[in-house]
Structure 1
Amino acid sequence: MTTTKKTECNQADAKATKHTSKPKPYKKARLAAMLSRPRGATQSQLEKALGWQPHSVRAAISQLRKGGADVLLDRSGKTPTYRIDAAA
């Protein structure tokens, strides 16, 4: 009988600790806030501030675009900069 209890507990723990692919809401808000700054943010700034890998940053920016945000990529300077267009 104790083995079934252990199995049930392990299954419950496994369900509780599953990782989801969606970024946490507060990180999305931080991302949007950083992109809303007048000068925007670079890829490396976003990676460091959010603790994400480069592909995760790009995916989250893509999700913002799908959600209706007008995210621009400015390549005029040394480092490409993402920003949300405030005029839109």
Structure 2
Amino acid sequence: MPPLKASATARRESRRSDCARRRAGRPAWSRCRAVAAGTWPRLKACREPSCRWAFYDHSRNHGRTWCSMNVCGNRVKVRASQRRRASSPHR
């Protein structure tokens, strides 16, 4: 009996699942390397609620808060300004 060949759909699904496994493993591998190198405290999650990015804090004092000051930092600061204006008495 000849060997069975996987259908094109089965091969495509197998490649997709392999790719997903590799992508899922990258963050874990990055964490392991950071822990081994002692740079783990510099890996941070962006503090903007709608952002899900992680970033490496290159700042000298380890005080970076957002993945991007131009995008996420600006959003946070605009919201804070709007709240202050809304709560202050109007002139």
Give the TM-score, by structure 2 length. 0.28
- Which one scores higher on RCO, CA 8 angstroms, separation ≥ 6? 1
Give the TM-score, by structure 1 length. 0.29
Task: Name which one, 1 or 2, has greater alpha-carbon Rg.
Answer: 2
